[in-house]
Amino acid sequence: MDRIRIVGGNELKGTIPISGAKNAALPLMIASLLTSDTLTLENVPHLADVEQLLRILGNHGVDVAVNGRRERQEESYSRTINFTCRTIVDTTAPYELVSKMRASFWVIGPLLAREGQARVSLPGGCAIGTRPVDLFLEGLQALGATLEVDAGYVNATAPKGGLIGARYVFPKVSVGATHVMMMAATLARGTTVIENAAREPEVVDLAKCLTAMGAKISGAGTQTITVDGVTSLSGARHRVLPDRIETGTYAMAVAMAGGDVVLEGTEASLLDNALDTLRLAGAHITETETGLRVVRNGNGIQPVDITTEPFPGFPTDLQAQFMALMTRSSGVSNITETIFENRFMHVQELARLGARISLSGQTARVEGVTRLKGAPVMATDLRASVSLVIAGLAAEGETMVSRVYHLDRGFERLEEKLTRCGAVVERVSD
């Protein structure tokens, strides 16, 4: 199993290309189930989660052509992929495929909207909390679907004639359930109003793509999304937006290690809150013509308190990375996680490197230390893994991160991107 070896101490200097967003690419790929025409997605990142979803979509009958050709181009950073689902050949998403990644559960929306039925295994994914599916079920029920959970599967059936538009108020903000409701509503009869919708940029990106496919959607990016159902959707060409979590992660890496890096192909507006927080911590961040420039020279890291929140608040997907940064601050920082109840697994691993962190309920109290020391550590989930890499960049000596398959789910060529900027980071295959 691969491991990542980091030797800390080097500043980062250079340019890092930011990939297409994993969390936008996944729902966009799933949207290809809604049409018999070809959906072309540009800037699709090359990640384990994307490969897994390609397998799942293939099972439903989606024909995939990478960069216009059938063979995979393993070497390219981002890819253009054509998805064509002339007919849905199977409305079941089996446990063996869905259990590996939570987002694969989202196929339930398009399958139900286009075929009137779906049988989808309850999902898996990163072990960061219980992650129930009640909001999906309630939302689809509001559109007239009949749902039952049986033997680990959700069996869903639309009324005769298809789903029916309705008003649904989410009791809690959910990114995935918003994606699914929006996709299901595109082909429903009448108007659907989704209240307390997620406002994440990935929701807006999906709405843009669905609109290009002929859907009638307004309000994406606000708390109320209105979808006027249409009878069919067509193909489209859409570019996946830049990955704001990858952007924030590398910005934090620069803040941690020191240096001067341009993050190319990204946009500040995707992560204003996190960038403002980083500025308070001592990083200088400016927009350039091609992206963002992040600089931290000799000045120290200041402690900043954060609380994770749905967009536009501080993202839960950057909480672990920010905690790594705070381990070297000049004071005490309180980090409160409000989205997932079990997203502090990196705490004990950061402690191996010498971090001083105590947990009380949903808040971690991080007392900055003057030095971290390299050690063997274990990746526990996607964002936790990269927090260990960030800590390793500033630790003395060697940090060896095991279980890096977590990292490969969401970070495209991490070691290459960091090495280009002067870090000592390498993949070790046993």
Q: Which of 58, 65, 63 is nearest to 90 (CA)?
A: 58
Q: Is 57 in the site for ligand EPZ (CB under 6 A)?
A: no
DSSP 303: P
Q: Is 51 in the site for ligand EPZ (CB under 6 A)?
A: no
DSSP 213: T
Could you give the maximum distance between any two Cα atoms of the chain, in Å?
A: 67
**Minimum distance from residue 321 beta carbon to ligand EPZ (Å):** 11
**Minimum distance from residue 139 beta carbon to ligand EPZ (Å):** 8
Known active-site residue 209: no
Handedness of CA 43, 45, 46, 49 (dihedral sign): negative
Ranges within 338-357 binding ligand EPZ (CB under 6 A): 339-340
CB-nearer residue toward ligand EPZ: 179 or 352: 179
CB-nearer residue toward ligand EPZ: 344 or 372: 344
Q: Is 183 in the site for ligand EPZ (CB under 6 A)?
A: no
Q: How many helices (H) and strands (E) does the chain have?
A: 14, 26
What is the Cβ-side half-sphere exposure of residue 92, based on CA atoms within 13 angstroms? Answer: 5
Q: Is 248 in the site for ligand EPZ (CB under 6 A)?
A: no
Look at residue 400 and give its three-state secondary structure. strand
DSSP 151: T
Q: Is 159 in the site for ligand EPZ (CB under 6 A)?
A: no
Q: Is 316 in the site for ligand EPZ (CB under 6 A)?
A: yes
Contact pattern from residue 188 through residue 207 relative to ligand EPZ, giving x for each residue in contact according to CB under 6 A and a dash for the rest: --------------------
Q: Is 389 in the site for ligand EPZ (CB under 6 A)?
A: no
Q: Is 25 in the site for ligand EPZ (CB under 6 A)?
A: no
Q: Is 382 in the site for ligand EPZ (CB under 6 A)?
A: yes
Among 26, 203, 213, 294, binds ligand EPZ (CB under 6 A): 26
Among 324, 366, 410, 414, binds ligand EPZ (CB under 6 A): 410
Angle at 146 between CA 140 and CA 148, to 5 degrees: 100
Q: How far apart are CA 380 and CA 105, in angstroms?
A: 22
**59 and 90 Cβ atoms separated by less than 8 Å:** yes
CB-nearer residue toward ligand EPZ: 38 or 338: 338
Among 10, 19, 23, 380, binds ligand EPZ (CB under 6 A): 23
**282 and 331 Cβ atoms separated by less than 8 Å:** no
Q: Which of 24, 88, 32 is nearest to 235 (CA)?
A: 32
Q: How far apart are CA 351 and CA 366, in angstroms?
A: 10
**328 and 281 Cβ atoms separated by less than 8 Å:** no
Q: Which residues are paired to 155 by β-bridges? A: 119, 148
CB-nearer residue toward ligand EPZ: 97 or 135: 135
DSSP string, 288-353: -SSEEEEEE-S--PPP--EEB-STTSB-GGGHHHHHHHHTTSSSEEEEE--S-TT--THHHHHHHT
CB-nearer residue toward ligand EPZ: 30 or 378: 30
Residue type, 33: L
CB-nearer residue toward ligand EPZ: 395 or 404: 404
Q: Is 399 in the site for ligand EPZ (CB under 6 A)?
A: no
# of chain residues touching ligand EPZ (CB under 6 A): 24
Q: Is 185 in the site for ligand EPZ (CB under 6 A)?
A: no
Angle at 17 between CA 335 and CA 25, to 5 degrees: 75
Among 175, 185, 225, 285, binds ligand EPZ (CB under 6 A): 175
- The stretch near ligand EPZ (CB under 6 A) out of 51-59, 173-181, 189-197, 206-214 is 173-181
- The stretch near ligand EPZ (CB under 6 A) out of 51-59, 157-165, 169-177, 393-401 is 169-177
Q: How far apart are CA 34 and CA 37, in angstroms?
A: 9
Contact pattern from residue 125 through residue 144 relative to ligand EPZ, giving x for each residue in contact according to CB under 6 A and a dash for the rest: -x--x-xxxxxx--------
Q: How far apart are CA 114 and CA 107, in angstroms?
A: 11
Look at residue 410 and give its three-state secondary structure. coil
Q: How far apart are CA 232 and CA 110, in angstroms?
A: 12
Ranges within 75-104 binding ligand EPZ (CB under 6 A): 102-103
Among 176, 242, 354, 392, binds ligand EPZ (CB under 6 A): 176
Q: Is 247 in the site for ligand EPZ (CB under 6 A)?
A: no
Residue nearest to ligand EPZ (CB): 176
Q: Crossing angle of helices 319-326/272-281, nearest 10°?
A: 0
Q: Is 170 in the site for ligand EPZ (CB under 6 A)?
A: no
Residues forming contacts to ligand EPZ in the complex (CB under 6 A) are 23, 26, 102-103, 126, 129, 131-136, 172, 174-177, 316-317, 339-340, 382-383, 410
The residues that are catalytic are: 126
